[in-house]
A and B are shown apart, each in its own frame.
Chain A
Amino acid sequence: MAGESRKLREEVQDEEPGISMTPMIDIVFQLLIFFMLACRFRTEEGEIHALLPKWGGQGITTPDKVPIEELRIKLLWVEPGSFRETKDPSNGRTLLKVGHRNLPYVTNSFGEVVPDYDELYKIICISRDTFKPTRQFRTRPATIDARPLVPLKHVVSSLNECVRANIKDITFAKPEIEY
């Protein structure tokens, strides 16, 4: 009897207190699943800066005496197969126009028929090179005049070509036709 109780006491003293790791592993897996679902891998992103026209209501303090011929890039929304403007948002295409010149169309790497932006770049470069810098403008100022129904991607592509050609003064214009 005394021998058995001594054995039991020895067994109890021999057992070390242990920590159960199972709940910790459960919590760790819960956290892992949460962060895996919450994680979103973003694509590379950048910005193209442009200024809005300031001088709608304000006066220029030091105006240039010589008027400057600005480079106006127009993006019109026209009927397919013609150059007539349309108000139908679902049936139309973008026409890129610089001055009186309509730019041709090309098929891009995505298989879409888009205005020829390389041609636009060449026109911008020629216009830039023939400009004499003034007190107000270091390079020829460019204005992007897009119709409301033109997809944004074409406006951004035009803006991109201006930046590529190192045009410093780029502004967006209000449309000539009110919708």
Chain B
Amino acid sequence: MKRRRLKELNAADQAVKMNLTPMIDCTFLLLTFFMIVSELSQLNMEALSLPHASEASSDSASEDVLTINIREKEARKGIVRIMGRPYDRDKLAEIIRKEAIKSGREHDPEHPGVEIHKLNVLVRCDRDAKYEAVQSIFDACSKSGVYKTALAASPSTE
């Protein structure tokens, strides 16, 4: 009688306990997933509504790329962003000149004897921003001897 009573008490005790091991496993899996997926150092890739272009290609060949981000609201004030920091047009021209000198020169394959800077300038801009914001960047590039430019676009139409 006494032994049966002890057994019943033990069974009641065990029914209340919860095994947390699977929960810890799932938590570690989620943590690993988000650690791999999140990109903490992507200051260059600001969240913008890029224009659509079906021919936009995702392969960028050059290592010497200067990424310039333009938000529609800031574009009206003449402000652009590089690595998350805002700059006005005068400062931008100086930065492009410095980056161009740092990147060095190469021979233009299409025109032998002519040297151009290796620097590629990638402009990421909101689709509804006016073209003058991009044009001012192109002007600064031309004055610094940088001729290779690219515009970021979204290949999908959604």
Contacts and interface: CB of A to CB of B under 8 A. Distances in A.
| Co-assembled chains A and B | yes
A152 to B, nearest CB: 5
Interface in B115-158: 116, 122, 125-135, 138-139, 141-142, 146-157
A44 B55 contact: no
Nearest to A137: B110
B147 A46 contact: no
A45 B130 contact: no
Contacts of B27: 25, 28-29, 32
What band does the interface of chain B fall in when counting residues whose beta carbon is under 8 Å from A? 35 or more
Interface string A16-29: 00000100010011
B130 A159 contact: no
A62 B53 CA distance: 35
B90 to A, nearest CB: 18
B135 A46 contact: no
B135 to A, nearest CB: 6
Contacts of B39: 40, 42
A152 B130 contact: yes
Interface residues of A, number: 53
Interface of B: 20, 24, 27-28, 30-31, 34-35, 37-40, 42, 45, 47, 50-58, 60, 108, 110-114, 116, 122, 125-135, 138-139, 141-142, 146-157
18 contacts: A31-B31, A35-B38, A40-B42, A40-B47, A42-B39, A46-B53, A48-B53, A50-B150, A50-B151, A52-B142, A54-B108, A54-B111, A62-B111, A149-B132, A157-B51, A160-B54, A163-B53, A172-B135
Given A29-B27, A47-B60, A151-B131, 7 more contacts: A35-B38, A45-B155, A51-B148, A152-B131, A152-B151, A156-B151, A172-B138
